[in-house]
Structure 1
């Protein structure tokens, strides 16, 4: 009897915080979705330390910073915004951090961390003043549908590339056992999804991993648990060792401005894409609690810089959890808890093969591409910008660039065809800023 009461109390507590019944979901679905999201994001625990170590950062310390920053920012997303979205140091932004700021421009990784910290503070201010929220609201509904489809195409393309099914824009080696494993995994995942199997994406990840390990195509985990957690000290608060003259330099302004532009529209794209996929948009096509979601992202970036990692951002892989039925912050909390546990179970999580997560990402791409049906292709001033938006994302390997060119083309076409009443001042201002950005930064 006491156990039953304890269980009911727990469910009531979770219901009160995450409004599960209001969102037509339950604890089991949310936890399963959170696990799925984590497993599709877990690669960042390996890849991010590897990329940032090229800048001279301690790889073990960055691993800890990656896990902690992902957990903290994802907790904020779950609690503040009640959204099923995971956050972690973003791909592309970490490459810019290591290759451009440090290796090409010649600055220290401490300088790069300070740039990320300043970016985070600016994002917090922009969020508190509602400017970031207004940017999301000013994007036309047709472009929002295009963003969702574009994110889906981007996710699928990433999955195909990661598994070497596509190599340099061409078909990969069809005799490669790992490519065959991916395609077999794609078939397994597709069948499970088509049958509406509960937990289909998570089941497929486990099944493909087991098949790969059983056939000795991928490595078995070197143990399951490890208490030998690396020290965070080599990167923790190291940004404050930067000389003040560098902090107030023109180069710092350029670096921060670039980070702001890339991260802003990557985050906007991710939020719009996963929100539309999860039926989280309101009747006007806006994202409820967008301000809270943006604040979680901004806090994540700021805390991440202090801990010792590159820009933290919302992950498009969150769509995998949403595809599994995740609708609330409990999904995010589950993902965050697993990032914390990964500090102890790193050998197990690292063993998840790319082939397993890639198959899932491709199917998630299929799910999100359904938004193409909602785009108005009858009006070319809507169709062309939408097409540019969802096409440029995978081709340019950037969600942000897809949104930028989509907004630019939308504004220009509407002005050129005397449809001024269909665009707002914010779109015109954004378009001008984009043009300035291309002139100054390329």
Structure 2
């Protein structure tokens, strides 16, 4: 192991890396069920559960393969899976293609997978030609230093806001932190006292107990603090659900299917690229969609890699990460694999930061997480019982730690402060790392030009800022 992953050289051990991989897996395991929910339109399409099963298997397989590539090609602790936001956009595209062409949802799904395939191939070419690395370098250092804390803000928003939501008997959705504290005020109390309220209280208690356990263990130097905190939080939630809410936390295991539906994968998505259907989309629309997917994925990936690597101390004094090309190549291969197996863009997950905080420094972390994703083909029901409130504890903790990167930002330089501040706000609000970086790039360029410092901005930076302007204001 030491020879393959250079553990000693990176100041880590097998135990630390495995714990880091398990930690990352627990924080991102939600994607295993959520991705097929989104892409199969929650089962209410003509493909029904068959498409759900196919996308579920594609999610596990494509993610596992992508992480193996990250482990052995790049030797980095970054974990990959179908990206949130991109999968929702893909589902919308599939629905629109079905409506415009009259094809079934499954046929439209198979047609849209070609967009993801082209995107992945483009990224492989750009990476091998070192163009993606040059794009990373085109992001001003000051903005790059602000990416990690901006990701921290997004993790805090996910952990405290959107990661845990519940529904009452009338199917009203409530986001735990916002609606729980909102219910404490007189104006919202009557609205929130529904059958969902006890679950909300249990989720909030679980979230904070898990967070405090993680923090206390961290202060005592326990490297497995994150995973221990999540496990304790999970146990607390299960006990609370059973004792106080009358629930059965493990009831789903009794009726769960443990036999993978490989036949659905083979019949519906595995190498099932509908080229005739793709031609019906229209060349202009297809090219626009490919460019849109490329831009979002490119800067989401770059932002995650740069931000997480900065937190892990993997960057030099110029903010560059050694092995960036290999990491980007692994990400590109993941996208190609996803398109061939049946899922939307596979990208580097921001939850990788949790594994980095647990001590992950090499590809063994990604390998461990990848193995868990592949095992979920057979043990998915076990991953599904991890309560969202427990993963929120880890996301909040990691988000707080990543905010420490703000100390590296030169707060006396308005050319940097304004773009970074906008990025800090835009990232959690938009939920997109790429969009937030785009806003920062536009702001940086405009400020420099209007300050008669246009020559300090590189040509590629102008191009990137211009592309984002076009995307934000001209591309629907």
TM-score, normalising length: structure 1: 0.92
User: C-alpha displacement at 1:170, in angstroms?
Assistant: 7.2
Alpha-carbon spacing, 1:411–1:248, altered in 2? closer, same or farther (3 Å)? same
Alpha-carbon spacing, 1:32–1:312, altered in 2? closer, same or farther (3 Å)? same
Alpha-carbon spacing, 1:56–1:126, altered in 2? closer, same or farther (3 Å)? farther
- Residues 1:414 and 2:448 are matched in the alignment: yes
Distance 2:181 2:447 in 1: 34
Alignment partner, residue 261 of structure 2:
230
Alignment partner, residue 10 of structure 1:
none
Alpha-carbon spacing, 1:239–1:169, altered in 2? closer, same or farther (3 Å)? farther
- Any conservation in 2 of the 1:46–1:63 contact (CA below 8 Å)? yes
- Any conservation in 1 of the 2:114–2:278 contact (CA below 8 Å)? no
Pick from 446, 466, 469 the counterpart of residue 435 of structure 1: 469
- Residues 1:59 and 2:52 are matched in the alignment: yes
Structure 2 unmatched runs, 5+: 102-107, 165-174, 184-191
Alignment partner, residue 36 of structure 1:
23
Structure 1 unmatched runs, 5+: 1-13
Alignment partner, residue 105 of structure 2:
none
- Any conservation in 1 of the 2:206–2:234 contact (CA below 8 Å)? no
How do 1:324-343 residues align onto structure 2 when only pairs under 5 Å count? 324-343=358-377
- The more displaced of 222-231 and 250-259 is 222-231
Alignment partner, residue 220 of structure 1:
250
Alignment partner, residue 69 of structure 2:
76
- The more displaced of 337-346 and 425-434 is 425-434
Alignment partner, residue 46 of structure 1:
33
- Any conservation in 2 of the 1:226–1:345 contact (CA below 8 Å)? no
User: C-alpha displacement at 1:421, in angstroms?
Assistant: 4.8
Report how many residues are paired: 429
Alpha-carbon spacing, 1:415–1:75, altered in 2? closer, same or farther (3 Å)? same
Alpha-carbon spacing, 1:26–1:413, altered in 2? closer, same or farther (3 Å)? same
Alpha-carbon spacing, 1:87–1:420, altered in 2? closer, same or farther (3 Å)? same
Alpha-carbon spacing, 1:122–1:337, altered in 2? closer, same or farther (3 Å)? same
Distance 2:355 2:277 in 1: 43
- Residues 1:91 and 2:84 are matched in the alignment: yes
Distance 2:353 2:367 in 1: 15
Distance 1:241 1:213 in 2: 48
User: C-alpha displacement at 1:355, in angstroms?
Assistant: 0.6
Alpha-carbon spacing, 1:77–1:221, altered in 2? closer, same or farther (3 Å)? farther
How do 1:303-314 residues align onto structure 2 when only pairs under 5 Å count? 303-314=337-348
- Any conservation in 2 of the 1:222–1:348 contact (CA below 8 Å)? no
1:283 match: secondary structure: coil
Distance 1:42 1:244 in 2: 32
Alignment partner, residue 165 of structure 1:
176
Alpha-carbon spacing, 1:414–1:193, altered in 2? closer, same or farther (3 Å)? same
- Any conservation in 1 of the 2:230–2:391 contact (CA below 8 Å)? yes
Alignment partner, residue 234 of structure 2:
209
1:282 match: secondary structure: coil
Distance 1:169 1:258 in 2: 37
TM-score, normalising length: structure 2: 0.86
- Any conservation in 1 of the 2:143–2:420 contact (CA below 8 Å)? yes
- The more displaced of 237-246 and 306-315 is 237-246
Over aligned residue pairs, what C-alpha RMSD do you find? 2.1
Alignment partner, residue 7 of structure 1:
none
How do 1:277-426 residues align onto structure 2 when only pairs under 5 Å count? 277-426=311-460
